[in-house]
């Protein structure tokens, strides 16, 4: 057990009163269920009373720590577990933000999640997308940050995003990934009917799924797809076709142009903005500190549709997403 004489600031989320610097990103962060990013960029989710967590809730600290459990008036109160950024864990009964009765030797399972990110903006001198690579970069930064649980992240962008390089990346992961792991595959770029467009050619969804099927891990594929333009003419058919269902789990967003979101002067793709919020913890509806694939899809679908007034909506191409589980941060508690 760690000493109780720890700086109290480590065990409190900021006493949250909604101010100019805090942002309620979902629900009711005053008196109800909501998700709040506080003035220190920590993410709080759960039941709020008078702007403070009370009842069941989670706090994802910006430096990588996480608390899951019971709250009272904005501080830890009751049963809960605190994951320190350095891997130490405190589980038990909390009082006034401090551990009161600790349980010995909590059992943890190390996260086993790998990721492949592909981002392409520059196809030809007269064919480019505005946000694809910047979105992929932001996601890469998130997945490789100290707070992320991803144990391997491979990133291919622009001229490196070739069919041969993707093949090599998939083969390298197939050599190490196990059946109890999860692979996240992200693609930000252009599509043409039922194919994604790599920098040196088209790859059909069927071929992509066959390549990914060589990896024994559970898989979830997330695609942010746009049509290329040359002047005012779309370079691909307006008939979007149907992406092929398979044993993998696919969430796809297809659109005839790129849609961005403005936040604090940052231009970012709408789909990726809400995807990153969800991966950080906003999609964790049951507040268990982990994300199911269905939680991610439900959150991103709802927020994207609401933001775009139903103009954009991610497309679900799988019958079940429940078995894929992604820890939001740190190890999973058994």
Q: What pLDDT, on a 0 to 100 scale, did the predictor assign at position 234? A: 42
pTM, two decimals, is 0.81
Ranges of the chain whose pLDDT falls below 70: 1-20, 105-111, 125-126, 147, 229-252, 254-260, 262-266, 317-325, 327-334
Q: Which two tokens stand for residue 42?
A: 């920590």
In this structure, are residues 14 and 42 in contact, taking their beta carbons and an 8 Å threshold?
yes
Does domain 8-106 correspond to CATH entry 2.20.110?
yes
Q: How close are the terminal C-alpha atoms of the chain, in Å?
A: 18
Q: What pLDDT, on a 0 to 100 scale, did the predictor assign at position 161? A: 97
CATH 3.40.50.1460 in the chain, residue ranges: 113-333
CATH no. of 113-333:
3.40.50.1460
Distance in angstroms (rounded) separating the CA atoms of residues 301 and 246: 20
Of 246, 154, 163, 147, nearest in space to 199 by CA: 163
Q: What pLDDT, on a 0 to 100 scale, did the predictor assign at position 19? A: 42
Distance in angstroms (rounded) separating the CA atoms of residues 285 and 170: 32
Q: What pLDDT, on a 0 to 100 scale, did the predictor assign at position 229? A: 62
Q: What pLDDT, on a 0 to 100 scale, did the predictor assign at position 52? A: 93
Radius of gyration of the CA atoms of the chain, in A = 21
Of 208, 216, 141, nearest in space to 173 by CA: 216
Of 297, 277, 323, nearest in space to 181 by CA: 323
């Amino acid at each position: 057990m760690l000493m109780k004489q720890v700086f109290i600031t480590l065990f409190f989320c900021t006493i949250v009163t909604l101010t100019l610097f805090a942002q309620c990103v979902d629900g009711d962060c005053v008196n109800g269920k909501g998700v709040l990013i506080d003035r220190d960029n920590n993410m709080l989710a759960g039941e709020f009373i008078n702007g403070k967590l009370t009842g069941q809730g989670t706090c994802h600290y910006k430096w990588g720590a996480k608390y899951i459990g019971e709250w009272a008036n904005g501080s830890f109160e009751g049963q809960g577990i605190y994951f320190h950024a350095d891997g130490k864990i405190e589980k038990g009964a909390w009082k006034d933000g401090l551990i009161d009765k600790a349980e010995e030797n909590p059992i943890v399972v190390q996260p086993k999640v790998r990721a492949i990110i592909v981002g392409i903006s520059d196809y030809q001198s007269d064919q480019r997308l505005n946000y694809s690579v910047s979105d992929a970069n932001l996601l890469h930064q998130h997945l490789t940050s100290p707070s992320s649980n991803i144990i391997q992240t491979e990133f291919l962008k622009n001229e490196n995003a070739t069919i041969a390089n993707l093949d090599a990346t998939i083969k390298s992961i197939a050599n190490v990934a196990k059946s109890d792991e999860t692979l996240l595959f992200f693609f930000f770029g252009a599509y043409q009917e039922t194919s994604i467009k790599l920098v040196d050619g088209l790859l059909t969804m069927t071929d992509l799924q066959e390549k990914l099927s060589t990896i024994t891990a559970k898989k979830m594929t997330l695609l942010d797809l746009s049509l290329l333009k040359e002047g005012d003419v779309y370079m691909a058919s307006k008939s979007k076709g149907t992406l092929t269902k398979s044993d993998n789990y696919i969430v796809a967003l297809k659109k005839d142009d790129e849609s961005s979101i403005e936040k604090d002067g940052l231009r970012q793709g709408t789909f990726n903005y809400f995807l990153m919020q969800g991966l950080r913890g906003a999609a964790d509806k049951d507040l268990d500190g982990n994300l199911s694939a269905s939680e991610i899809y439900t959150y991103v679908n709802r927020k994207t549709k609401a933001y775009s007034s139903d103009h954009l909506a991610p497309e679900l191409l799988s019958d079940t997403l429940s078995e894929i589980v992604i820890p939001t941060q740190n190890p999973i508690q058994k």
